Amino acid sequence: MEWFAGARIALTPRPVERRIAALEAAMLGHCPGRVRLERLLQLPAALADMRAVGYGLAVDALLRPGAVSELYHLPIPLQSSAEFHDIFPDALDANTEYVSLLAGKQAWLGLAVDDFFANGGEKLWVVRIPEASGQAGFLPAANTELHDIDSLQGLATVLVIPALGLVSFPDLERLQVPPRLPDIPRVRLENNDPQFLPCTQNSDDDHRERRYGSELNDMPAPWALADVLRGILRFVVSHRPDVQCLFTLPLAYSGELDSPVLDPAALTALAGYQDNPEHAQVLRHVQFLFPYLRGPRFSLLTPAGLIAGQQAAVARRYGPWRSMAARPLNSDALPYPRLSIAQTLALRDEPGISVIRYRKSFSGRGQLLLDDERLVVPALPAADYPFDKQRYDGFRSAEAMRFLGFLRRQLQMLGEQLIFNLDYRDPRPRLLLEQFFRRLYSQGALRGASAEQAFSISETTPQEGALVYEIMVAPAFPIDRLFLTFTNLNGEWRAEVVDG
């Protein structure tokens, strides 16, 4: 909310009511500073959405006269970044409790929210996490029961949202940046000849480390990546297997390169998951990102906001089965640390990291983009590729996982609508299912020479009054790479294209 004309005119940002979002996302993070509860209460659509997902008692408590709340562990649906900054006006400027040399002392949630909406995101659920709880505040409690809404914390608060498809943790990633991790050393310039300078001119050479030296002694150490993943994935896998998480891998310092690099311990942890067939499949619920971002507005930032916003925009325009890789990202930041093409290819192929790149476009302008949407393991369940795993390597694509999650949510919604409205002997449910999958086939989500090859629906009646539909689908196979072969036969050039 902005005040003009001597505080006589108040301009309140409120976007036009939007249609149903194609891909709803959630972000968990820190919001230091003031909380303007009255501004949230001026958004009736947001309060209605909170009631619809089970937070009616919490909304009633907020509406009581004289109510005061810090809005901790409460998902708030937003349609624009202006709504976020209207409720949390100090989120970008107030200092946080955790301070590090690289990440600074500002929270990442507000910047990630801006990136999400700047890149086409439509609807975002924001959860404020208390800073004093550290990494544990982002994770559900050990004895969490999703039906007990009042006891939910961290990730569990958004798992009850039926339409949720994406989750990211900007400030959990910030807490994973080691407090004393040094930056890339700058080249020291030669001293200029002594000369008179006005007192107002800054003469600092900006090469000596002066940031928060006395504040870093008591900063807590980051958690091991395996512990963070375990806390996130055990609830996602058991309660919401349709949800995809975004997480940027942590940093470590390389004395050989004299620069921060991707933490080798994180790669070792991922390799440990991959070597265990029973545990490897849980990683299909996480899309790992690297590197971080650095720009004129911040010293370090997660790319999760950019990626989530672009994924939501592509889902709206083309469908959730389409990838947002190689599409320009709306940001003034650059990747940090910068990776070479060889490093990008190595991380993309093994273990399977979605790498942020910066390249020149054909017009000569620089573009920030995602090299490829990769997963550490295939998105399909392990039972679907027991023998020839290399053949299904193309399904190590995040868009394939989003499509499977989309199918789960759509079929769940359809079943809930039909269960109380139709008799189990009514033929209309099967007709609705066929219509739904034929539409997906016509839009390119399924592969096959005909719709009959793209999906199959069979009915069984295990007992009186019960009906089971078994559905098999052939998702469109993502093309990860193209092999172009040029052959000269008797002076005639022939080309062959094979997708890999």
Tell me which residue has tokens 């499949």.
281
Q: For residues 220 and 201, give the distance between their C-alpha atoms in angstroms, rounded to a whole number.
A: 37
pLDDT recorded at residue 500: 45
Residue 29 backbone dihedrals phi, psi, to 5 degrees: -170, -170
Q: What is the pLDDT of residues 401-458, one digit of tens each?
A: 999 999 999 988 887 777 666 666 777 788 888 999 999 999 989 988 999 999 998 8
Contact 37, 61 (CB under 8 A): no
How far the first Cα of the chain sits from its last, in Å, is: 52
User: Which of these, 74, 101, 102, lies nearest to 88 by C-alpha position?
Assistant: 74
Q: Range with the lowest mean pLDDT among 207-211, 376-380, 477-481, 493-497?
A: 207-211
Q: What is the pLDDT of residues 284-334, one digit of tens each?
A: 999 999 999 999 989 999 999 999 999 999 999 999 999 999 899 999 999
| Average pLDDT for 341-363 | 88
Bridge partners of 492, per DSSP, are 489
**Amino acid (one-letter) located at 416:** E
Q: For residues 265 and 271, give the distance between their C-alpha atoms in angstroms, rounded to a whole number.
A: 10
Contact 486, 493 (CB under 8 A): yes
**Amino acid (one-letter) located at 344:** T
Contact 120, 22 (CB under 8 A): no
Q: 360: helix, coil or strand?
A: strand
Burial-class residue 267 by CB neighbours within 10 Å (0-12, 13-18, 19+). middle
Bridge partners of 472, per DSSP, are 456
At residue 209 the predicted structure's pLDDT band, cuts being 50, 70 and 90, is very low
Contact 25, 55 (CB under 8 A): no
Judging by DSSP bridges, how do beta strands 482-489 and 492-499 pair with one another?
antiparallel
Global model pTM greater than 0.75: yes
Burial-class residue 31 by CB neighbours within 10 Å (0-12, 13-18, 19+). buried
Contact 25, 116 (CB under 8 A): yes
What average pLDDT does the structure give for the chain? 86
Q: For residues 395 and 323, give the distance between their C-alpha atoms in angstroms, rounded to a whole number.
A: 12
Q: How far is CA 211 from CA 179, 189, 215, 217, 219, in A?
A: 11, 20, 9, 13, 14
**The pair of three-digit structure tokens given for residue 215, joined into one six-digit string:** 């504040």
Contact 239, 157 (CB under 8 A): no
Q: 242: helix, coil or strand?
A: coil
Q: What is the pLDDT of residues 125-173, one digit of tens each?
A: 999 999 999 999 999 988 888 889 989 999 999 999 999 999 999 999 9
Q: For residues 176 and 172, give the distance between their C-alpha atoms in angstroms, rounded to a whole number.
A: 6
Q: What is the pLDDT of residues 243-298, one digit of tens each?
A: 999 999 999 998 888 889 999 999 999 988 877 777 788 999 999 999 999 999 89
Taking each helix axis as running N to C, give the angle between helix 304-317 and helix 109-118, from 0 to 180 degrees, rounded to the nearest 10: 30
Q: For residues 350 and 375, give the distance between their C-alpha atoms in angstroms, rounded to a whole number.
A: 10
- Residue 224 CA neighbour count, 13 Å, CB half: 7
What share of the chain has pLDDT > 90, as a percent?
59
